[in-house]
């Protein structure tokens, strides 16, 4: 494997850097400690976040693969990097919600914590310049971001992922309030376009509340200046049974 400095940097985002992978059709996803919120207006660093999100996302993607959800994850390479399958990203953020919080609470005047009558799936257009506006199916198809069949596929995958992850997190005393997914297109062995799950699943893009205390163990600690942000991410990793060696220690993560 080439050292990172010699690999071609394809894209640098807010939380990750994507490098050219060792084989065509692969990428290396590097997890940074940088955090942003409110469409880039708030910026900071959460020490050790990249290491934790790399592990948490690996764990979840592997579990989803085991229940038959196709994902981009191939293998973890080191503390901050994983090898993934390159996709053509569908420019949508797919949000699933079980409990009112964040922008949903604001939009409909719902008290944070209100349990929704059923899970709700929403689509947002991925555009920092426009502040990721919410979009309807009509916009998605009219502007050619995805076909009706792709919308159906993203909806059904998201519902499955939501059901599975709700149970997985409940098993470790966490309520999955909401989360964001990204999907992409790949060409399968029969030359057909297929949709797979891409990006990451971590406390950066989920809301996770302790079932007993309602304590927030996710990026809202950063957004709302609640403190102990890295510790919250570490607690999620500890409960998932990953990085158990860090369980009793305050956040102290080796940097590469
Ligand atoms: P942002 O672009 O929102 O700042 P990140 O810092 O997380 O986000 O950057 C990661 C970027 O890589 C995102 O734009 C995401 O859509 C994209 N991406 C994630 N997985 C893949 C993949 N398998 N292939 C191609 N692009 C991907
Ligand atoms: N989310 C995300 N990236 C975004 C916007 C939202 O990962 O650009 C996640 C967020 O962490 C939460 C869910 O999607 O788990 C719903 O977020 P909401 O629309 O409430 O956004 P907020 O306005 O609170 O960022």
Residue where the block lists tokens 């198809």: 141
Taking only the tens place, the pLDDT of each residue in 31-59 is 999 999 998 999 999 999 999 999 999 99
In ligand 2, which atom is closest to the CA atom of 218? 11
Q: Which CATH number fits domain 9-87+227-255: 3.30.200.20, 3.30.499.10, 1.10.3720.10, 3.40.50.10110?
A: 3.30.200.20
Q: Is 217 in the pocket of ligand 2 (CB under 6 A)?
A: no
Q: Quick one: which ligand is closest to 11's CA?
A: 1
Residue (of 162, 194, 196, 192) closest to 179 by Cα position? 162
Q: Is 100 in the pocket of ligand 2 (CB under 6 A)?
A: no
* CB proximity list for 187: less than 8 A, separation 6 or greater: 193, 194
User: Quick one: fold of 88-210?
Assistant: D-amino Acid Aminotransferase; Chain A, domain 1 (3.30.470)
Taking only the tens place, the pLDDT of each residue in 166-189 is 999 999 999 999 999 999 999 999
- Burial of 242 (C-beta count, 10 Å sphere; 0-12/13-18/19+): middle
Q: Is 242 in the pocket of ligand 1 (CB under 6 A)?
A: no
Q: What is the distance, to the nearest Å, from the Cα of residue 147 to the centroid of all Cα atoms in its chain?
A: 23
**CA torsion angle for 55, 61, 67, 72 (degrees, to 10)?**
-150
In ligand 1, which atom is closest to the CA atom of 128? 3
Band of the pLDDT at 60, cuts 50, 70, 90?
A: very high
Contact 97, 104 (CB under 8 A): yes
Average confidence score pLDDT of the chain:
94
Taking only the tens place, the pLDDT of each residue in 72-108 is 999 999 999 999 999 999 999 999 999 999 999 999 9
Q: Where in the chain is the domain with CATH 3.30.200.20?
A: 9-87+227-255
Q: Where in the chain is the domain with CATH 3.30.470.20?
A: 88-210
């Amino acid at each position: 494997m080439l050292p990172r400095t010699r690999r071609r940097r394809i894209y640098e985002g807010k939380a990750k850097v994507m490098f050219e992978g060792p084989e065509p059709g692969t990428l290396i996803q590097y997890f940074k400690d940088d955090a942003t919120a409110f469409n880039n207006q708030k910026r900071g660093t959460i020490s050790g976040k990249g290491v934790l999100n790399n592990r948490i996302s690996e764990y979840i993607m592997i579990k989803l693969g085991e229940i038959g959800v196709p994902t981009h994850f191939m293998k973890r390479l080191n503390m901050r990097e994983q090898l993934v399958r390159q996709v053509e990203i569908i420019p949508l953020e797919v949000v699933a919600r079980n409990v009112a919080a964040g922008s949903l609470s604001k939009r409909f005047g719902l008290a944070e914590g209100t349990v929704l009558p059923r899970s709700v799936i929403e689509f947002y257009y991925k555009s920092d310049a426009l502040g990721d506006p919410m979009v309807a199916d009509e916009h998605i198809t009219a502007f050619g971001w995805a076909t009706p069949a792709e919308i159906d596929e993203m909806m059904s995958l998201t519902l499955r992922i939501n059901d599975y992850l709700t149970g997985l997190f409940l098993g470790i005393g966490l309520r999955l309030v909401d989360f964001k997914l990204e999907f992409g297109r790949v060409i399968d062995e029969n030359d057909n376009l297929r949709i797979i799950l891409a990006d990451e699943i971590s406390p950066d893009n989920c809301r996770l509340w302790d079932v007993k205390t309602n304590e927030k163990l996710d990026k809202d600690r950063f957004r709302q200046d609640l403190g102990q942000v890295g510790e919250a991410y570490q607690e999620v990793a500890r409960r998932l049974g990953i990085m158990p060696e860090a369980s009793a220690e305050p956040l102290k993560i080796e940097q590469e």
